[in-house]
Structure 1
Amino acid sequence: MRHGPSITITLLFLLFLAPVAAYPGDRITGRGFATRSEVFARHGMAATSQPLATQAALHILRQGGSAVDAAIAANAVLGLTEPTGSGIGGDLFAMVWDPAARKLYGFNGSGRSPRSLTLAEFKKRGLDKIPAHGPLPVSVPGVVDGWFELHGRFGKLPMEKVLAPAIGYAREGFPLSELIAYYWGRSVPILERWEGFSDVFMPGGRAPRKGEIFRNPALASTYERLAREGRDLFYKGDMARTMDSFMKRVGGFLSYEDLAAHHGEWVDPVSTNYRGYDVWELPPNGQGIAALQILNILEGYDIAGMGFGSADYIHVFVEAKKLAFADRARFYADPEFNTIPVATLISKPYAARRRALINMKRAARVVPAGEPDALEEGDTVYLTTADESGMMVSLIQSNYRGMGSGLSPDGLGFIFQDRGELFDLTEGRANSYAPGKRPFHTIIPAFITRDGEPFLSFGVMGGATQPQAHAQIVINIVDFGMNLQEAGDAPRILHSGSSQPTGEEMQAGGVVSLETGTPYASIRDLVQRGHEMTWQVGPYGGYQAIGWNPETGVYAGASESRKDGHAAGY
């Protein structure tokens, strides 16, 4: 006998979700799910996924460095302490609030595919999808260029000082945290077969364990040389030649010419107004505007009246996400190869048309992309910094899948990213593979202004989770009145299985995952509306935020309790 979608909810799942009071502790203040208070400071603030990175950022701020200097310092430390999600073999995106110009700047630091690798080569190999590891998914690393572009425009301290904390930790070693040790251990069986990986990331022939000291002298030397000799060492100098010869040896396609041709791009962030708050994202090839599309659709509902954790709220959120992600699958790609109707996609009239497709009583199983003219995985680091002048930085950086491709070039101490996996190998689509093209990107920084003043620099790492979580953070603050820490600690909604820019299409409505703390009555109601529910461990992202209060001149910081997050100021 068929019982419908409820059959997918196991007894174990219900037992996990039923105890809605399973919170971190009995706090005196704040909501029941809050793990800690916000952090407040006047002169500077940093929020990252690793305490050592946060401390490095504060060290730079105390030396008179700008928020950009502090962000680069933190990112460099994360490339060492959290290689499971970051490193100079990956890409970078950032937004910078410049208090002097009273303007928000955007930077797209994503790299392009190798010019010698063609779609015909994939077909010759009989591939219908780009592999997750090895040489084929490797694209040009954009981080180093991004650091120097940001520093050249907004930096104050010399790069020798900015990279000094990371160099020190790489030489002397640092104790591994529990969460990173867990992800590192999971990566080793997958990546140990790839050239160079075990030499750097498996000291003693295994993954380092929690509390053990890990050193990366090769990365220390790389950072030292970059600080002295500059950006072109990586893209046009000895390091570029080392990467070129390494890739030739392992059967790869990334070349010296690809590296020498690389350049990041300063871009104008785009925004929508959600109930008086201007929410800013970067335009494609990233997925940031999906968060804006979700918010525009949801603005037509009384979200506050529905209540946090209610079945009505979760239902409309998931349905709005499905609609936004259908457009994401069809339109989001490298704008140098496509005309992307960004202004229409994030417009209120278009949102109204899409909103009309939502049935409050039934979950959609198939959702078409809109007609504007008429990925589930990914490990990343997000960080945010702010300085005494009022400059604020929202920065995100990633290898894509955890520790990336697994390939570590000779003597340089990092791993090449595998971001090229996110191309579509079907011809004629927006995100179809082409030489010299930027792949669809999941990593997105975010920013909020209010009445022309900076309000919040924030982001949430985690593949396709990111735009969903961005929208939830905004809703938690604006509709549900949460503070910055509560907005991040609140149980999250995650829908998986939407159509993808890599060509997959949603056929059965996907699945909904809800964190502990969601009322059972809401789950039961959602099942009755046709949602397939599931239980997942760990895909809910990693949040950091810094808010600014112009009346008091005080920063507020919040960090991710699901990770090793740390917000601190002075």
Structure 2
Amino acid sequence: MPVSISALRPRRAAALLAPLALACAFALAPAHAADRIGGKTFATRSEVYAPHAMAATSHPLTTQIALDAMKAGGSAVDAAIAANAALGLMEPTGNGVGGDLFAIVWDPKTKKLYGYNGSGRSPRSLSLAEFQKRGLKEIPPHGPLPVTVPGAVDGWFALHERFGRKPMAENLAPAIRYAREGHPVHEVIAYYWNASVPRLSKWPGFKEQFTIDGRAPRTGEMWKNPNLAHTLEQIAQGGRDAFYKGAIARTVGAYFKANGGYLSYEDMAAHHGEWVEPVSSNYRGYDVWELPPNGQGIAALQILNILEGYDLKSHGFGSVEHVHLFAEAKKLAFADRARWYADPAFEQSSPVAKLISKDYAAQRRKLISLDKVLKEAQPATPAQLDQGDTIYMTVADADGMMVSLIQSNYRGMGSGMAPPGLGFIFQDRGEQFVLKEGHPNSFAPGKRPFHTIIPAFVTKDGKPWLSFGVMGGAMQPQGHAQILINMIDFGMNLQEAGDAPRIQHDGSTEPAGQAVAMSDGGELDLETGFSYETVRELVRRGHSVRFALGPYGGYQAIMVNPNGGYVGASESRKDGQAAGY
């Protein structure tokens, strides 16, 4: 039976169809166990072991910055801030001070997890009526309209106030130095930068501050950003208020007023993030922790809860049962994601506890058939629930503190809006609002949009076991679930679990845009490495299978070594590095 290749949707433009025939692509497996001494089928390299501290980021230089911070006496939080500030310079295709931040921190002193939601809100002067007056059905992905207040800088200072040891000026110093002196651009970053320039160059300030004579920097080419260096210096000297209430915020307000935007000085000055309680569900003896909405983290818990009812280990990795059951569980979780995940300040009845309960998972599991696909997936009804583009990095220090941190501008380089002289681009996270009255994620002034970026953490018997994440839009909860299934069900090590070929289901009802309900079962993207026999059987059961290049996310992880110290792993699909000392 031939395999169908579905056309990619416009919102997934980065997922380019490969030129090879699909049958050939799936037949090409990665390195086989017999090819390597370690016998690990999928691992591109060994895990990294270190006795004292570990950092895993999507850029080798920022990993070194994190390690330097801890060697100089900083905590894991100091190291994470230093690395994140530098990533905003070195990987502007994924993050920066114009974006939001979420984090989960394990504190060895209190033996507790702490969550921080550093997402910003919509402009208070912009209304749903304004979008309707313009005849818009969705918020545009670029320009001034999707811009929301950036929460990353506030997140740095909130984390630092509770868990930092070094002065913030020292934490920001490496990023400032690299911004002034320059650094060579890495390969994957150069690819995405080049893809962003044609889309964003028309917006004021982008071309002047993020191109070299109108083009993206090439692989290995030195890149400097003196404007960002100056912005970071102001933050280092004046604290968070230098960003939200000082000259930077006034420049921001004037820029948007002059360019058809709504974000104001007052919006910046009113921003505040918040500490939140992480939520968890147990998967085969492991407590998996995520942050509650307005993010999508609990979708990973819902997927795992549904899949816990199946013996995935006996089916084996890459089997048709493994892929089929994963896709069906994802569809059910994402139906609830589209209906129930929103800013809890506006949707206070969001039934998180019920959505991640085992009883509810058992109800949802009954909807899955082993031999055919779900064409539609309805969310839970209120009666059933009656009761409540991005970087990822993780750091662990010698005292046992572990940080799981994710930060993003959304859609790669964000909105394209780059205020003069500041050296950063604003996020376009507001695109995730729905322009329909009555929807939980409907646009409203001063509201946080549905968020895709999610950090994760796992404990075992009340002790830290794993800090990890998988960046990449709707791939994130799917990636979280797959990493844990790979480790817990299929016995893979930390590096192998990240390098193994991934599954991505696309086409579920979304909590954003026009929120069109899935009616055709969606599309199933399978990374190279799944057998053609599995693909053929998936098609026979009704899945629309396609080969997409690039949408499978970016993984970093640190695990506690039971023998002492840490184990690290870094994403083979990115430029990153895991390293320790």
- Per the TM superposition, whether the score is higher than 0.5 is yes
1:460 alignment counterpart:
470
Q: TM-score, normalised by structure 2?
A: 0.95
Alpha-carbon deviations, 1:538-566, whole Å to 9, x = none?
A: 000000000013x4222000000011110
Q: Name which of 275, 295, 298 aligns with 1:289.
A: 298
Q: How many residues align?
A: 563
CA gap 1:195/1:506 in 2 versus in 1, 3 angstroms: same
The amino acid that maps onto 2:418 is S
1:546 alignment counterpart:
558
Please state how far the C-alpha of 1:229 moved relative to its aligned partner: 0.8
Alignment of 1:442-461 (within 5 A): 442-461=452-471
1:216 alignment counterpart:
225
CA gap 1:308/1:198 in 2 versus in 1, 3 angstroms: same
Alpha-carbon deviations, 1:485-544, whole Å to 9, x = none?
A: 011001101000000001121110000011111011111110000000001010000000
CA contact (8 A) 2:433 2:443 kept: yes
The amino acid that maps onto 1:413 is G
1:441 alignment counterpart:
451
Q: Secondary structure at the match of 1:181?
A: helix
| Separation in structure 2 between the aligned mates of residue 7 and residue 460 of structure 1, nearest angstrom | 25
Alpha-carbon deviations, 1:465-502, whole Å to 9, x = none?
A: 00000000011111111110011001101000000001
In the alignment, structure 2 segments of 5+ residues that lack a partner are 8-18
| Separation in structure 1 between the aligned mates of residue 497 and residue 282 of structure 2, nearest angstrom | 19
CA RMSD of aligned residues (A): 1.5
Task: Confirm whether residue 420 of structure 1 aligns to residue 427 of structure 2.
Answer: no
| Separation in structure 1 between the aligned mates of residue 127 and residue 223 of structure 2, nearest angstrom | 39
CA contact (8 A) 1:91 1:111 kept: yes
The amino acid that maps onto 2:408 is S
| Separation in structure 1 between the aligned mates of residue 380 and residue 262 of structure 2, nearest angstrom | 36
1:371 alignment counterpart:
381
Alignment of 1:236-275 (within 5 A): 236-275=245-284
Alignment of 1:76-225 (within 5 A): 76-225=85-234
CA gap 1:180/1:320 in 2 versus in 1, 3 angstroms: same
2:549 alignment counterpart:
537
The amino acid that maps onto 2:537 is D
Please state how far the C-alpha of 1:230 moved relative to its aligned partner: 0.4
| Separation in structure 2 between the aligned mates of residue 522 and residue 79 of structure 1, nearest angstrom | 40
CA contact (8 A) 1:22 1:517 kept: no
Task: Confirm whether residue 45 of structure 1 aligns to residue 60 of structure 2.
Answer: no
Alpha-carbon deviations, 1:202-232, whole Å to 9, x = none?
A: 1222111111100000101111111111000
| Separation in structure 2 between the aligned mates of residue 366 and residue 534 of structure 1, nearest angstrom | 19
| Separation in structure 2 between the aligned mates of residue 58 and residue 175 of structure 1, nearest angstrom | 20
Task: Confirm whether residue 515 of structure 1 aligns to residue 527 of structure 2.
Answer: yes
| Separation in structure 2 between the aligned mates of residue 25 and residue 98 of structure 1, nearest angstrom | 42
| Separation in structure 1 between the aligned mates of residue 352 and residue 506 of structure 2, nearest angstrom | 24
2:537 alignment counterpart:
525
2:510 alignment counterpart:
500
| Separation in structure 1 between the aligned mates of residue 35 and residue 399 of structure 2, nearest angstrom | 38
Alpha-carbon deviations, 1:19-47, whole Å to 9, x = none?
A: 22567994321422210011011111000
CA gap 1:372/1:29 in 2 versus in 1, 3 angstroms: farther
Q: Secondary structure at the match of 2:98?
A: coil
Q: Secondary structure at the match of 2:103?
A: strand
CA contact (8 A) 1:5 1:530 kept: no
1:475 alignment counterpart:
485
Q: TM-score, normalised by structure 1?
A: 0.97
Query: In terms of mean alpha carbon deviation, does 61-70 or 203-212 score higher?
Result: 203-212
CA contact (8 A) 1:47 1:54 kept: yes
Q: Secondary structure at the match of 2:141?
A: coil
Q: Name which of 440, 447, 455 aligns with 1:430.
A: 440
| Separation in structure 1 between the aligned mates of residue 382 and residue 184 of structure 2, nearest angstrom | 51
Q: Secondary structure at the match of 2:466?
A: strand
1:346 alignment counterpart:
356
Structure 1: 4+ residue segments shifted above 4 A: 3-11, 21-25
Query: In terms of mean alpha carbon deviation, does 324-333 or 18-27 score higher?
Result: 18-27
Kindly, what percent of the aligned residue pairs are identical?
67
CA contact (8 A) 1:22 1:516 kept: no
| Separation in structure 2 between the aligned mates of residue 268 and residue 518 of structure 1, nearest angstrom | 38
| Separation in structure 1 between the aligned mates of residue 95 and residue 377 of structure 2, nearest angstrom | 34
CA gap 1:24/1:125 in 2 versus in 1, 3 angstroms: farther
The amino acid that maps onto 2:303 is I
CA gap 1:121/1:270 in 2 versus in 1, 3 angstroms: same
2:14 alignment counterpart:
none
Alpha-carbon deviations, 1:69-98, whole Å to 9, x = none?
A: 000011011000000000000000000000
Please state how far the C-alpha of 1:7 moved relative to its aligned partner: 7.3
CA gap 1:50/1:356 in 2 versus in 1, 3 angstroms: same
